Chain A
Amino acid sequence: MFKTLPIKDREMFLKYAIPCGDVLVDRGELKQRLLDKMKGSVIDQKELNYDIENTFKVATRMCTILGTNMGKSDIDEEVIRKYFLHEHEKAIQWRMQIKPDVIPEKCMVYPGRVVNTNSKGVTLNTPLGRVVAKDEFIDRLRTGDWVSMHYSQIAEKIPKKEADSMVNEFKERLEKKYIITGNNKIGDAVEI
């Protein structure tokens, strides 16, 4: 059994982790009903008394190691952002060796800029082009806001500086051929 650091900011962790829960459901590792309940609890800002550590094992383990190397005793906002915004691709590369059902294009966390919002969702410009994302976890988005997106779900607003940093990392990986997605267009990446 892997000994994880405790998750301090459980809401933020789940906003990033829940969108890939469908993969766990498809594998039979998580019940759809429990995933829906977790999602509802985050949206309704209820208590999050779930066994997150054993549900989202990969993210928790990665955060534990990153947090330890950052001198942390728990998984706080800084660790969660470092993992999901900047180190998540490493986890994808690792899991792709073991689990063939990982779809990197969907699993990666992208920055995006809000183009408009309507009843169908939020239209974003992202490094992979224009996409429509869900905004259940976030209130009052406005045109021009910068956000992070995971599996077409907006996790949170992020500062422009953070988005720029993510785009630069994305472009660097493309140039060094580290990128693992199949449909990248560098031209789209510079347009957001």
Chain B
Amino acid sequence: MCMALLGRVSEVDGDSAVIDFGGVTKSADARFLPVKKDDYVYVFDGFVIEKLTKKDAKKILKGE
């Protein structure tokens, strides 16, 4: 089941970005939502679907 996952942008190359999901990195398509390094983003089906603030992302990642 492919769900939306939260990760941090580690690299950006045009419309493509490398996302770090807690140590596992995957590339994602950012054509619909441009990102920059260190942004926290949700990725769904290989696409960046939402950006979060660092504060909100850390809360979710800590499970608060």
Contacts and interface: CB of A to CB of B under 8 A. Distances in A.
Interface of A: 1-4, 61-62, 64-66, 68-69, 90-91, 93-94, 97-98, 173, 176, 178
Contacts of B33: 1-3
Nearest to A93: B3
A90 B1 CA distance: 8
A91 B44 CA distance: 9
Contacts of A3: 31-33
Nearest to B56: A98
A4 B31 CA distance: 10
Interface of B: 1-4, 6, 31-33, 42, 44-47, 49-50, 52, 56, 60
B4, B42, B52: which has the most chain A beta carbons within 10 Å?
B4
B44 A62 contact: yes
A94 B32 contact: no
Contact of B47 (A68, A98, A173): A68
Residue among B31, B49, B52 with the highest chain A CB neighbour number at 10 A: B49
B32 A64 contact: yes
10 contacts: A2-B49, A3-B32, A62-B44, A64-B32, A65-B47, A66-B45, A90-B3, A91-B4, A94-B49, A98-B60
